[in-house]
Amino acid sequence: MSVAASTSTFAGKAIAQKAVVKTSKVSTVVKASANKALSLAAATAVVLSTGPAFANTAIELTDKRAEQQNGLQLIYEARDLDLSNKPNAEGNSRFSFQKLGSTETAARARESVARINGDVGTYVEKKYWTQAANELRRQVGTLRFDINNLVNEKGANAAEAKAFYKKLENLDFSIRQKDQAAATALLAEVQSTANTLISSLA
């Protein structure tokens, strides 16, 4: 009697456990199916609501051919494609600056000289040597490019330009040496020489 009772109890527990597992699987499948159905319904609603908006949007075409011929691409390619891309300190071969006409080139060169006299002069006066050196080299890059272009266009003698570049190098050296007196004197020389040189080439 005791054996039969224990067997019956064991069998009953096994049946109850199987019933619980089946109920859990069915519930999970039903929930997943319901979520998938809701997602599909939401996606369908979004597509149907945005369809008319896309259908009624016209594609606008703008003719930019005339603007491209007048220099639209210069903001991306500020260079003269007829020149070599190899840097050359003695000629207008650099491509990082836009080559302008004679009047505009002279104006830009004068602006560089004014910034050297103003900004670099202020930094030298305050003994801000790092800022003075950085500003001088920043302006010299454009200034050398513009003066070389003016010399080539006018067919002038490059000796005066080379002498001017030598003064710029001396100014840079005095700044690196933190020699305020020499830098101040050279700033005045650079200003005078640059104005005379640019006026003769413009």
| Average pLDDT score over the chain | 75
Closest CA to 86 of 74, 98, 95: 95
Tell me, what amino acid is at 23? T
Residues of the chain with pLDDT under 50: 1-16, 19-21, 23-26, 29-30, 92-94
- pTM (predicted TM-score): 0.54
Return the pLDDT at 41. 72
Note whether residue 139 is domain-resident.
yes
Spatial separation of the C-alpha atoms in residues 125 and 190, rounded to whole Å: 16
Note whether residue 90 is domain-resident.
no
Q: Domain count of the chain?
A: 1
Q: Which residues contact 184 (CB under 8 A, 6 or more apart)?
A: 121, 124, 125
Note whether residue 75 is domain-resident.
no
pLDDT tens column, 129-156: 999 999 999 999 889 988 988 888 888 7
Note whether residue 110 is domain-resident.
yes
Which domain, by its residues, includes 185?
100-201
Note whether residue 81 is domain-resident.
no
Note whether residue 26 is domain-resident.
no
Spatial separation of the C-alpha atoms in residues 33 and 137, rounded to whole Å: 70
Note whether residue 194 is domain-resident.
yes
The CATH number linked to 126 is 1.20.120.290
